[in-house]
Amino acid sequence: MRSRQTFQQLIATNKRNSFILIFGMFLLLFAIGAVFGGTYGSYEAGLVIAGITAIVVFLFAWFAGSGTLMAISGAHEIQKADDPQLFNVVEEMAIAAGVPTPKIYVIQTDALNAFATGVDPAHAAVAITDGLRHKLNREELQGVIAHEIGHIRNFDIRYTMLMAVTAGAIVLLADVFLRSSLYTAGSRRRSSNKNDGAGQAILLIVGILLAILAPLITALIQMAMSRQREYLADASAVEFTRNPDGLANALALLGSDQTPYKASRAVAPLYIVNPELKLRSGKESMFATHPPITERIKRLRELAGA
C-alpha cells in the first residue's frame, strides 16, 4: 500500500509542476505581444496578435497529426499479425491504463528507443525500434510500453504539442519584433514629442531584450516540463505494471546502448531516452530534455524497495 501512495504522490507533484510551466509559457507569449503592441501604440492589438499567432500555429500542428512525426522518424505501421506478442503487450498496458489501444509503428534501427505521439488517447500511436523489440525481454518491453502508454493516458502527447505550439508562437513573434525594431527605432528618433519618444524608446529596448531572451527562456521551460513528464510517465508505468524493476532494467539497457541513431530534432525530445542527449553521468543539465537515466532508475528502485 505504501508503494501505491508513493507513486501517486509523484504523479500529483509532476502534474502540478507541468501546469505551472505551461502557465509560464503563456505569460511569456502574451508579455511579448503586449510589449510588441505597446511599442506601436496599442497594447490590446499586441495581445490580439499574440493570440491569433498561437491559434494559427496550433491548428497547423493539430491537423498535421502524428503521421508527420512518424514519417520524419521513418516509422511504418504494423498489424497484429506482424507481431502478435508485441500487440499483446501494448493491449495489456492499454487495458491497465484504461485507454484505447494505440496504433503501433516500428522504426528499422538496432538502436534501443521508443516514443508516443498523438493529440489524445483515442488518436495516439506508439513507435518502437527494432533493437528495442528484439533486445529486451518481455518484462523490460512491458516497462517501456507502459511508460509510453503513461504519456498517452496522462495526455503528455497533447501537453508536448501545446508547449511546442506556444514555443513556436513565441519565437515567431520575437523574430518579427526584432526585424521591425530597426525601423521602429528610426521612426522614434524622428518623433517631435521628446517625452513620448523617450518613453517609446525605453519600451523598445525592453521589447528587444525580451525578444532576444524569450527563445532561450522558452527552451528552458520546455526542457523543464519534458523532464517532469518523463518522471510522471515512469511513475505511471509502475502503476500499470506493478513492477518497477522492468522499466528500471530497460532504462539501464537503453542508457548503455551505444548504437548510433540520428533522430530528427522535432522528434528527439519525445523518445524515452533522447538520442542526442543520453545522460549517463548522472549530472543533470538545464538544457536536457530528459532527467538523468541514473536518477530515473534510482527513483524506480526506491519504488521497488517501498
Catalytic residues: 148
C-alpha grid cell, residue 124: 495516439
User: Under a CB-based contact definition with an 8 Å cutoff, are residues 104 and 93 in contact?
Assistant: no
Distance between CA atoms of 225 and 227, rounded to whole angstroms?
Answer: 5
Of the candidates 131, 134, 150, which has an alpha carbon nearest to the alpha carbon of residue 257?
A: 131
Backbone angles phi, psi at 126, to 5 degrees: -120, 135
C-alpha grid cell, residue 48: 490580439
Distance between CA atoms of 215 and 200, rounded to whole angstroms?
Answer: 23
- The letter for the amino acid at 96 is A
C-alpha grid cell, residue 153: 493516458
Distance between CA atoms of 93 and 126, rounded to whole angstroms?
Answer: 12
